[in-house]
Structure 1
Amino acid sequence: MGAPPVKPFASSADLTEKQQSLEVLADGVYALTAEGDPNVGAVEGEDFVVCFEALATPAAAREWLARLREHTDKPVRYLVLSHYHAVRVLGASAFDADVIVAHDQTRALIAERGAEDWASEYGRMPRLFKDPDSIPGLTWPTATFNDRFTIHLGGDRGTLELLYCGRGHTEGDIVAWLPRHKILFAGDLVESQAALYTGDAFHRDWAAGTLDRVAALGAEALVGGRGAVARGRDAVDAAIAQTRGFLTVMIERVGAVQARGGTLKEAFQEVHAELEPRYGRWPIFEHCLPFDVARLWDELSGTERPRVWTAERDRAVWAELQD
């Protein structure tokens, strides 16, 4: 018998375009989902628009804006970035936003590792980088905050609350909360029927206090980082529970392997065996898991902050764990 086939690196072989769906969640509240590709959204104010997430390139972002313009021609005043990853931020220039908002720590992460992350994510997910030459450079927020940033939407539209719920997917994730409609744009802190990427995560914080604070908002519709919109309280609770369950399994299995003196490769194999029956059919599961386990191994070994992912480190970890 020959050796098992080598798995293509990350999502490099995923070249099939995904079907996008624009959903109107309430009057002036929009979400664009795409079969497991990164989700984006928008909220209308009285005379302006707030966009949530920027996609990987200006060319990709312009396609989303063209869909949005079928519903509103109001100018984009605010572009909200939930965190620093390249596929979420590098399309920002297409929005021509007056203000680009992110967490204080997101700005620090862009300065510290934004260029490396750009190269890493382009290698992992080339299909998402439509016309990469359209990217003018790193995206820099023009307004940052620590705990809360309130956008008054005008008229009777209420407010959009940008909130920091704690360390999770990265050090600087924020959510966008519409109290009037009980709609939450959760970024990659919650995934609905999609696997988690945790290569820059703080797993224990995320699985405990951070998700507790997200759940306490009481959302009745939730747009996660990937996957379908969760509609209704039961679906929202299920998405949060799914996210917490993924993290909990990882923490328990990796911790057990470390406790008995096992190896990183053994930890990956045990986590994969336990998670694959439930999550393996979902987007980017095989892509993410080697990077997830490598970061968690570091975290449980005492490395407080995630190591920088470079294109070279990506390939080394993949070869060690997934090949």
Structure 2
Amino acid sequence: MSKAFASQNDSTDKAISFSEVGKGLWAFTAEGDPNTGVIIGDDAVMIVDAQATPQLAGKVIEKIRGVTDKPIRYVVLSHYHAVRVLGASAYRADHVVMSDTARSMVVERGQEDWDSEFQRFPRLFRGHESIPGLTWPTMTFGGRMSIYLGKRRVDLMHLGRAHTAGDIVAHVPDQNVMFTGDIVEYHSACYCGDGYFSDWAGTIDAIGAFNPDAIVPGRGDALVGSRMVGEALDNTKDFIRSTFEPIARVARGGGSLKQAWDACRAECDPKFSTYAIYEHCLPFNVARAYDEALGIDTPRIWTAERDLRVWEQLNS
């Protein structure tokens, strides 16, 4: 292989922030690493996205215990990716919640995704020995589900395909705050390797229709206020468009994957090269956009072996 995956050389610990984005609503962020949302109700706590390992989840729990001693009863997972779900056991929650589609993706490709992400991003999997296995939900739903933490209602919704086929958001209507998972990012690249470029902008528009007062995105700083929210929604849509359109032109014109890579970089580097995990995401984004442009609707499964083949093809 010509060089290591971009994130294999990223060994620097990130500074953690824990900020309140609404009454009893918190964002655990770490300079572009995966975020976790915390929803404190009258009688219990809900987690939105669990982190990659129990060790990392322990850092979230430490922050939670600085603001409440209420029991953690729910872990909601916005999608199936390993960096979001494999830390779930640390919370000892009564229920783990996913969409029906996300659970089906754990069945179909959960182990392959774990193996792939472990190879790509070793720093996030420090302490991986404590992961008990794949994370399975105790509750699933289709389009919408409401959970009550005492009087506080949390609406879980599948608003459309985007980062994966099974993405969900968590909306807390009493504060009009939304936890979006990786549908929305802020100053971080979108990982599109399992995404749906043609649907993504419409799903973001469905989020925007709520006019959220704050959003906890999948990566990057918490977004508080209409200006930051609007900027992040627009910027995420621009990232998706700027990635897909040049690649689609190459693919539909009979060009190679390497030519699509070059076209994507020409469009995206000037705008996004300083974003967190930009170089990490590029090979997977290019490969998926190329496939989708040629009519392949369902993303092909990423395995550790396929990762290496694509990386070598694009970087040799």
TM-score with structure 1 length normalisation? 0.95
Q: Aligned match of 1:175 in 155, 169, 172? A: 169
1:314 and 2:307 aligned: yes
- Residue number in structure 2 paired with 1:3: none
| Partner Cα distance (1:320, 1:232) in 2 | 43
| Aligned partner letter, 1:175 | V
1:102 and 2:95 aligned: no
Q: Which runs of 4+ in 1 moved over 6 A?
A: none
What are the superposed Cα offsets for residues 153-190 of structure 1, whole Å, 9 maximum, x if unpaired? 224xx311111011110010001111111111110000
- Residue number in structure 2 paired with 1:288: 281
Q: Aligned match of 1:119 in 115, 120, 124? A: 115
| Partner Cα distance (2:21, 2:292) in 1 | 38
SS across alignment from 2:296: coil
User: Structure 1: 5+ residue runs without aligned partners?
Assistant: 1-5
- Residue number in structure 2 paired with 1:84: 80
User: Structure 2: 5+ residue runs without aligned partners?
Assistant: none
| CA drift at 1:10 | 3.2
| Partner Cα distance (2:50, 2:150) in 1 | 23
| Partner Cα distance (2:263, 2:104) in 1 | 35
| Aligned partner letter, 1:166 | G
| Partner Cα distance (1:32, 1:259) in 2 | 41
Q: Aligned match of 2:160 in 153, 156, 166? A: 166
Q: Aligned match of 1:201 in 195, 217, 229? A: 195
What are the superposed Cα offsets for residues 178-213 of structure 1, whole Å, 9 maximum, x if unpaired? 111111111000001111100000110112x21111
SS across alignment from 1:12: helix
| Partner Cα distance (2:203, 2:23) in 1 | 29
- Residue number in structure 2 paired with 1:18: 14
SS across alignment from 1:110: helix
CA RMSD between the two structures: 1.3
- Residue number in structure 1 paired with 2:143: 147
Map 1:187-198 to 2 at 5 A: 187-198=181-192
- Residue number in structure 1 paired with 2:257: 264
What are the superposed Cα offsets for residues 122-151 of structure 1, whole Å, 9 maximum, x if unpaired? 011110012110000000011001111111
SS across alignment from 1:11: helix
Map 1:236-247 to 2 at 5 A: 236-247=229-240
- The number of equivalent residue pairs is 316
- Residue number in structure 2 paired with 1:42: 38
| CA drift at 1:322 | 3.0
